[in-house]
Amino acid sequence: MRYTEFTPFDIVLLAQGLGVSVGLFLATTVIGLLIGTLWAVVRFYRVPVLTQVITFVAELLKNSPVLVQLFLVFFGFPAFFHINLGPVEAAVITLSGNTAAFVYVIAVSAIESIGRDQIEAARAFGLTKWQVLRHIIAPQAMAFAIGPLTGLLVNQLQVTSLISVIGVMDLTKIGNILNLRTLKPFIVWAVVGVLYYLAAKLIAYAGATLERRLRAHTAWKGL
């Protein structure tokens, strides 16, 4: 008996794949946001050596293919550091690092977008550097960064498709399996593509909604 036809169970498989993709995307986004913001704060405090190291690492991560980073972590780390890494762990490490590098750049430019005069005024009022960051810079920088961040996240969702290469059962891997079994690449990849497309649109929509709310205080309300 050959199972070359599509079965109703394929829908469950696709849903599982989408779940893995979205789950990993959300997890790495949260970790990446935390690390990237932390790096930006380190830069804000002008910590001597650390700032240069972070800038260098971020540039390296931004300017090299994610696939190579993935291979480095998945194949390279276990061989070099003698540790055990599953595909999912490797994927989380790589994608978080990659997201962090891009978040760092966005966060730095968001912090620098706030005028010097505001910071000087706040310092003159006796606020500490942390208070300035927390109460003056953060709220404005957040509104500034949300646009580029949405673009980044839409991109990062697509980057998650690469982890199928190291064997994580994400949406692309499921597509691969279905394609090999049914030998109907047009339908399979079209469906997979549509699912990614819809997920990307959802992220873009959520980003736009959040941006409207964060910018509500600067919106023109009329006289």
The residues that touch another protein, with contacts defined as CB under 8 A, are 59-60, 63-69, 71-72, 75-77, 79-81, 154, 157-162, 164-165, 172, 175-176, 179, 183-186, 189-190, 192-193, 196-197, 200-201
Q: Closer to another protein by CB, 32 or 175: give it.
A: 175
- The helix (run of H) or strand (run of E) holding residue 119 is helix 116-124
- Would you say 96 and 28 are in contact if contact means Cβ atoms under 8 Å apart? yes
Q: Closer to another protein by CB, 119 or 200: give it.
A: 200
Q: State the nearest-atom distance from the C-beta of 151 to another protein, in Å.
A: 10
Q: State the nearest-atom distance from the C-beta of 50 to another protein, in Å.
A: 20
* Closest residue by Cα to residue 143 from 99, 168, 113, 176: 113
Q: State the nearest-atom distance from the C-beta of 152 to another protein, in Å.
A: 13
Q: Closer to another protein by CB, 139 or 185: give it.
A: 185
Q: State the nearest-atom distance from the C-beta of 7 to another protein, in Å.
A: 20
Task: Please give the C-alpha separations between residue 188 and each of 7, 24, 73, 173, 194, in angstroms, as whole numbers.
Answer: 13, 22, 30, 11, 10
* Closest residue by Cα to residue 148 from 111, 108, 106: 106
Q: Closer to another protein by CB, 37 or 176: give it.
A: 176
| Distance from C-alpha of 96 to C-alpha of 117, rounded to nearest angstrom | 35
